[in-house]
A and B are shown apart, each in its own frame.
Chain A
């Protein structure tokens, strides 16, 4: 589980918040119930204490203490009703104390005496040494003309304790249960609500500069996600516009350059052909013509690239044997290598079928081989290999040439990038050859990579999706 995902965090926040709320509520509930029960019991005790004082003790001077004791015993029979009753004189000596209750819940003789004080009424919770507790209400009873008596009535706090303990157990068990349910529910709800995000992300990942015309799915739920996907789509539209503007600019610019180039080239050729010029002048015009031609080639390549960008790459789309194509193409270039005393070895015996445009894929082989030969010193070697690897057709061209410095490796496929300006200035170098290789590879659903070490050589690897092996009859087409 991804702990930083929104759905996890939502569920976690949900759970934390509920924990806090339940804890506060539980605490409040616990204490108020406890308080309420204590108060109710104490009020009953206080009422009884007042009763004893007002009905019996008021008349002590008349009836005598012994009468009071027997009355309490007969009227209240505290031992039977598990009650504690104690009557003390003002000097602290005990007039009467009830015996141990029937349920043995406390020992009356061990109940501590009330601290001396003047309050007429008071109540307290007594903790007896043996761990039991007693709720005790006290009442100071004035007598007609005599010293006051202190009446204490109490009962065991055990039932309250038991009840609150039960409540606490309920809360302790119930809260985690509720939390578990809430967290799981929160996770599921969040996942459900966020599932369009997964779809958006999946789609967004496959949109590149080559398929900017595609859009993200919009869930018409009227929620934030709909707004998000609509906003993202607007952004893609703006990107699309920007990209096609710049592509159109390149296409238009190269297009517009062609007519003046035609005029310059033609007029210069006419000048030379008319034959009235001195040899030196012809040579100089020839120099200009060389550059005009070069310019023409650059314009041509830029247009080719912008067509590839626009997805107009495939003039045909057939099943073809990449190995045979590479072998045939290298045949036509062998003399270039021989001329520089470079040995070309080939490993193209096993057919590898891919889908594509013959002329374009051939251009990939031409550009890569030309580069390999150009940047390898005489006596070196170039290796051409076509094979299948993990379900893809691989075209590898490795040389023992000068190599590419590490900082230049990521840039070699950029347009107009040249590793060594002086060296590639020779004839054709415009820095577009590898850019074209990349564009063609991408247009075929493939890619191109390079591994290189300065001084020991470079290896370019083009990987293309294999053609489906179904239509055996159509193989003939590629021959």
Chain B
């Protein structure tokens, strides 16, 4: 999988490419709009990560040009502006997703994976993490054969963690996904719900599945703790 990062801030580009390489992606960097457009035009990328504010041709123009030539390649837009009108504009210009700086790298990876997966891949009805079973169709959860009753919010939280099993999800990501943007800044609500969820699916069992990653967020995994 090959990803093009069009970003004029050297350090952001380095950070993003290093992180993505660690996830075993091949990454190219373009430092301005002209190079970005030339590279996207010349090579075949699986994904383009595009900053909107660029020297040379600006991000929106690059976006339009790529879209004019090729409707398939997913494009993830990065921006330091989060005014709604520019968000709407970018979607209209053909962006597939949108991320506002500062963002958690974990979130970037989650979105990149989602864009690359394109469509309902490995969306089997039953997710198993160790002895935990989540049936997405019936919304039933059980562990070691024991039925566990969850509230809708607890279920949404568990489902989100399980969908990205093994991956760290930040509190902000969880709030925006399980609640909505109006709750941003209310990240302590995540801690409370995680505690309640743990009381049901982890506390009665010897192996704890939900892990806290300090400073970053939560993840669910059955790998043994380090």
User: Which A residues have a C-beta under 8 Å from some C-beta of B?
Assistant: 255, 258-263, 265-270, 272-274, 279, 282-283, 285-290, 292-293, 296-297, 299-301, 303, 307, 312, 315, 329, 332-333, 335-336, 339, 359-360, 362-363, 366, 370, 427-428, 433
Contact = CB atoms under 8 A, between A and B. Distances in A.
Contacts of A335: 151, 153, 189, 192-193, 196
19 contacts: A258-B102, A260-B11, A262-B102, A263-B12, A266-B104, A266-B105, A269-B106, A287-B214, A289-B214, A290-B214, A293-B215, A329-B182, A332-B153, A333-B189, A335-B151, A362-B180, A363-B182, A366-B183, A427-B187
Given A293-B170, A335-B153, A428 B186 contact: yes
A297 B185 contact: yes
A260 to B, nearest CB: 8
B80 A255 contact: yes
B114 to A, nearest CB: 18
A303 B196 CA distance: 33
A273 B84 CA distance: 32
Contacts of B213: 272, 286
A273 to B, nearest CB: 7
A113 to B, nearest CB: 113
Contacts of B172: 293, 297
A279 B213 CA distance: 11
A269 B167 CA distance: 12
Contact of A259 (B101, B180, B181, B195): B101
B82 interface: yes
A382 B162 CA distance: 34
Contacts of A329: 182
Interface in B14-32: 15-16, 18-19, 22
Majority DSSP secondary structure for residues of A touching B: helix
A263 B186 CA distance: 24
Contact of A433 (B103, B185, B193): B185
Given A269-B19, A335-B193, A258 B80 contact: yes
What are the nearest 10 A-B pairs in CB distance? Answer: A289-B215, A286-B214, A286-B215, A261-B102, A362-B182, A266-B15, A258-B101, A262-B102, A269-B105, A266-B105
Interface of B: 9, 11-12, 15-16, 18-19, 22, 80-84, 100-106, 108, 151, 153, 168, 170-172, 179-189, 192-193, 195-196, 213-216, 226
Nearest to B16: A266
B80 A307 contact: no
A270 B216 CA distance: 11
A301 B181 contact: no
Contacts, number: 129
A299 B102 contact: yes
A290 B213 CA distance: 11
A290 B215 contact: yes
B37 to A, nearest CB: 22
Contacts of A279: 226
A15 to B, nearest CB: 62
Contacts of A262: 12, 15, 101-103
Contact of B101 (A261, A301, A433): A261
A265 B102 contact: yes
Contacts of B192: 335-336, 339
Contacts of A433: 185
Nearest to A426: B188
Contact of A267 (B15, B101, B188, B195): B15
A288 B215 contact: yes
Given A261-B101, A287-B215, A333-B189, A273 B22 contact: yes
A417 B189 CA distance: 23
A54 B154 CA distance: 140
A359 to B, nearest CB: 5
Nearest to B23: A273
Given A286-B215, A428-B186, A269 B102 contact: no
Nearest to B187: A428
Contacts of A267: 15
A301 B18 CA distance: 29
Nearest to B181: A359
Nearest to A268: B215
A216 to B, nearest CB: 31
B82 A303 contact: yes
Given A279-B226, A336-B188, 13 more contacts: A258-B101, A259-B9, A259-B12, A265-B104, A266-B105, A272-B216, A289-B214, A315-B84, A329-B182, A339-B192, A339-B195, A362-B180, A428-B187
Contacts of A282: 214
Nearest to A360: B182
Nearest to A254: B80
Given A263-B11, A270-B19, A428-B185, A332 B105 contact: no
Nearest to A340: B192
A336 B153 CA distance: 12
A336 to B, nearest CB: 6
A366 B182 contact: yes
Contacts of A300: 82, 184-185
Contacts of B188: 336, 427-428
Contacts of B16: 266
A358 to B, nearest CB: 8
A301 B102 contact: no
A259 to B, nearest CB: 5
A259 B171 CA distance: 20
A362 B181 CA distance: 10
A293 B168 CA distance: 15
A303 B82 CA distance: 9
B189 A336 contact: yes
Contact of A273 (B19, B83, B195): B19
Nearest to B182: A362
B205 to A, nearest CB: 22
A279 B216 CA distance: 15
